[in-house]
Amino acid sequence: SSLWPGLVKALQHHLNRQQSRVRLFESGLRFVGQLEGLKQEAMLAGAICGKRLPEGWANGRDGVDFFDAKADVEAVLASAGALGDFSFVPGEHPALHPG
């Protein structure tokens, strides 16, 4: 199972209400494996879109990028006291843009 469908639905909900900066995170458990040896795994997923900074005369108009998402993930992990337990490694997923 995946946390993505709920995140995409919530993201669409906010965009339909003209929110220009959206950052969502969700955590949960998913079942992995077959009936024999089925186990639960903790998952963390997120979605961001829109402008990097709130609208204002002193703020730029740049949109969010990978590094903004990474900084948000690091902040979530740090607030949970788990930043040192994780590392970032390049990977690929068929639902995501390569790179």
Q: What is the pLDDT of residue 71?
A: 95
pTM over 0.85: no
Q: Please give the average per-residue pLDDT across 25-37, as a whole number.
A: 83
Q: What is the pLDDT of residue 34?
A: 76
Q: What is the pLDDT of residue 62?
A: 92
CB 29 within 8 A of CB 2: no
Number of C-beta neighbours around residue 64 at 10 A: 18
The per-residue pLDDT for range 40-94, each reduced to its tens digit, is: 888 888 999 999 998 888 888 899 999 999 999 999 899 989 889 888 888 888 8
Q: What is the pLDDT of residue 99?
A: 66
Token pair, residue 66, equals 């990978």
List of domains in the chain: 4-81 (3.30.930.10)
8-state DSSP, 90: -
CA 41 to chain centre: 17
CB 24 within 8 A of CB 39: no
